[in-house]
Chains A and B, each alone.
Chain A
Amino acid sequence: MIELLEQYGRLLLVGHYPNGPLGGLAMTILTSLLCLAICFPIATLLALARTHGNKTLARFYTGYIYFVRSMPLLMLIFWIYYFLPYVLPFSLSPFVTIVLAITIFSSAYLAEVIRAAIEALPKGQYDAASALGFRYWQTTFLIVLPQALTNCIPGLVSQFILIIKETSLGYIITFNELTYVAHELNKILLVKPVEIFTILAISYFVLCSGLSQLGGQLERRIARGRLSNDSDQ
């Protein structure tokens, strides 16, 4: 296994970069970060659509959540990658497909997390804001979101882990991320499936398990902060 890592470790880490396209683990992480960065503002807006109080917006939100919950991510990838070229003058690259599909999906899940955090805020916060004469957007951006989004940080970490795991579906449309690179390597070498897939699984395990430990610590810290705030009151 050591020998394999010496020879192909670099390929699994960064693909053919810098002499060719980036790939492997680096691609997985960068794509995941990009997806998370795009998801976050969309999810926040979605959550606000739900909590705003407008019925049409709330219905749109519910419809969107149900739509995402009712379909496998793989089918969405099929729609984008295999169907869109029939109706568009161009086709989307595997990279764009994955980012688009994951963003559509994760925005819904993250929106649920943010919505829960907004709804968990004590009603007194809204009363205090209106007592100060704040309008909706002032209340939202100065009072509600700063608190709710801070409480969401552990949820954000969990979402990041989910996204990293979802990027592995890139393999199906030959997107150059870690799972695809490992699978290709297996096809070339043929005789080392045990080593290759063990390395692949361990890589994800270390990355995601580590992140979830971090998320757990953040959660405990935030919970402690909230407790001490409560006892101050």
Chain B
Amino acid sequence: MTLDYSAILEDRYFDYLVSGAITTFSLALAAWVAAIILGLLIAAVRNIDFLPTRWFCIVFVDYHRSVPLLVQLFVWYFALPELLPQAFTQSINRGNPEVFFAWVSLTLYSASYMSEDIRSGLRAIPPGQFEAARTIGMNYAKMMRWVIFPQAWRLSLPPLVNQALILFKGTSLASAIGVAELSYQARSIETQTFRAFEAFSLVTLIYMVGTIMIMFFGDRLVARYALKRG
């Protein structure tokens, strides 16, 4: 076997790789941002002392953590369009339904894990912190804004970085519902050129660059902001 990267770096296949990489990175980023917002929201609603909302949050989180991401993608892509109003489905189909449902699935999946990370960050704050904030005359909102939240996000940072990593790699499963991201393109190039090593090694390399970037910047963030406590 001789290696020949030029065969797969010609215009057409190079375009495959570039568009695959763009899809992978933007899907991961879009889902990550949405997941953080949704994760915060779930964590907040989960703490409200009202049984129906609490149970909804528990089941929601448990579902997304217990069912394989691939199956969640299938449920959204194959099953839910049947249940959604037709007008809605049609408007999605006019765009790119694969990417849309992949984004929804990845967001819900990641948000469920993140909400638990945020909650354990909150739980890790000792009761004394709440009391100290109260004793200097802070009301609930000020206490949360100036004392609790700044600590909670620092405590949640390491698992949130890890979640970003899992999410980035998880985008590869979107290929199963036909999203033309990196691993989808790796297979396309391989089946068209029979150059498996070249195609896979390039794509693996791009994934590694992405994950190492996340780990590197994540570690720097954690080192900079992590809370030191005795």
Residues of chain A at the chain B interface (Cβ within 8 Å): 66, 69-75, 78-79, 82-83, 86-87, 161, 164-166, 168-169, 171-172, 179, 183, 186, 193-194, 196-198, 200-201, 204-205, 207-209, 212
Which residues of the partner chain B approach A207 to less than 8 Å between Cβ atoms? 66
Query: Is B72 close to A, CB under 8 A?
Result: yes
Query: Is B223 close to A, CB under 8 A?
Result: no
State the CA gap A164–B186 with chains docked (Å). Answer: 26
Cβ-defined contact, A183 with B207, below 8 A? no
Sample 5 A-B pairs with CB under 8 A, ordered by A number: A71-B208, A72-B170, A72-B172, A198-B75, A209-B62
* Option from A75, A186, A212 in Cβ contact (under 8 Å) with B66: A212
**Given A194-B79, A197-B75, A197-B78, also A78-B183 (CB < 8 A):** yes
**Given A69-B165, A74-B175, A79-B200, also A194-B82 (CB < 8 A):** yes
Which residues of the partner chain A approach B74 to less than 8 Å between Cβ atoms? 179, 183, 197, 200
SS class, residues of chain A in contact with chain B: helix
State the CA gap A82–B203 with chains docked (Å). Answer: 14
Cβ-defined contact, A87 with B1, below 8 A? yes
Identify which of A66, A79, A87, A193 gathers the most chain B CB atoms within 10 Å of its CB: A193
Cβ < 8 Å to A, chain B residues 81-98: 82-83
Which residues of the partner chain A approach B183 to less than 8 Å between Cβ atoms? 72, 74-75, 78
* Option from B65, B70, B197 in Cβ contact (under 8 Å) with A83: B197
Cβ-defined contact, B68 with A72, below 8 A? no
Given contacts A74-B172, A197-B71, A201-B75, 4 further A-B contacts (CB under 8 A): A69-B165, A165-B67, A196-B79, A204-B67
Classify chain B's interface size: 35 or more
Residues of chain B at the chain A interface (Cβ within 8 Å): 1, 62-63, 65-72, 74-75, 78-79, 82-83, 165, 169-170, 172-173, 175-176, 183, 186-187, 190, 194, 196-197, 200, 203-204, 207-208, 211-212, 215
The closest CB in chain A to the CB of B162 belongs to A69
The closest CB in chain B to the CB of A81 belongs to B196
State the CA gap A208–B65 with chains docked (Å). Answer: 9
**Given A168-B70, A179-B71, also A71-B211 (CB < 8 A):** yes
State the CA gap A184–B170 with chains docked (Å). Answer: 23
* Chain A nearest CB, measured from B79 CB (Å): 4
* Option from A71, A75, A86, A205 in Cβ contact (under 8 Å) with B186: A75
Cβ-defined contact, B75 with A86, below 8 A? no
Cβ-defined contact, B68 with A161, below 8 A? no
Cβ-defined contact, A204 with B71, below 8 A? yes
* Chain B nearest CB, measured from A99 CB (Å): 17
Which residues of the partner chain A approach B165 to less than 8 Å between Cβ atoms? 69
**Given A72-B169, A86-B196, A197-B75, also A166-B208 (CB < 8 A):** no
Cβ-defined contact, B67 with A82, below 8 A? no
Which residues of the partner chain B approach A73 to less than 8 Å between Cβ atoms? 169, 172
Which residues of the partner chain A approach B78 to less than 8 Å between Cβ atoms? 186, 193, 197
Cβ-defined contact, B211 with A70, below 8 A? yes
Cβ-defined contact, A201 with B176, below 8 A? no
* Option from A82, A86, A186, A204 in Cβ contact (under 8 Å) with B187: A82
Cβ-defined contact, A197 with B69, below 8 A? no
Which residues of the partner chain B approach A168 to less than 8 Å between Cβ atoms? 68, 70-71
* Chain B nearest CB, measured from A184 CB (Å): 12
* Chain A nearest CB, measured from B100 CB (Å): 17
The closest CB in chain A to the CB of B168 belongs to A72
Which residues of the partner chain A approach B68 to less than 8 Å between Cβ atoms? 164-166, 168, 179, 204
The closest CB in chain B to the CB of A198 belongs to B79
State the CA gap A70–B65 with chains docked (Å). Answer: 21
Which residues of the partner chain A approach B186 to less than 8 Å between Cβ atoms? 75, 78
* Option from A82, A161, A208 in Cβ contact (under 8 Å) with B190: A82
**Given A69-B165, A86-B1, A179-B71, also A171-B82 (CB < 8 A):** no
Which residues of the partner chain A approach B63 to less than 8 Å between Cβ atoms? 201, 205, 209
* Chain A nearest CB, measured from B122 CB (Å): 19
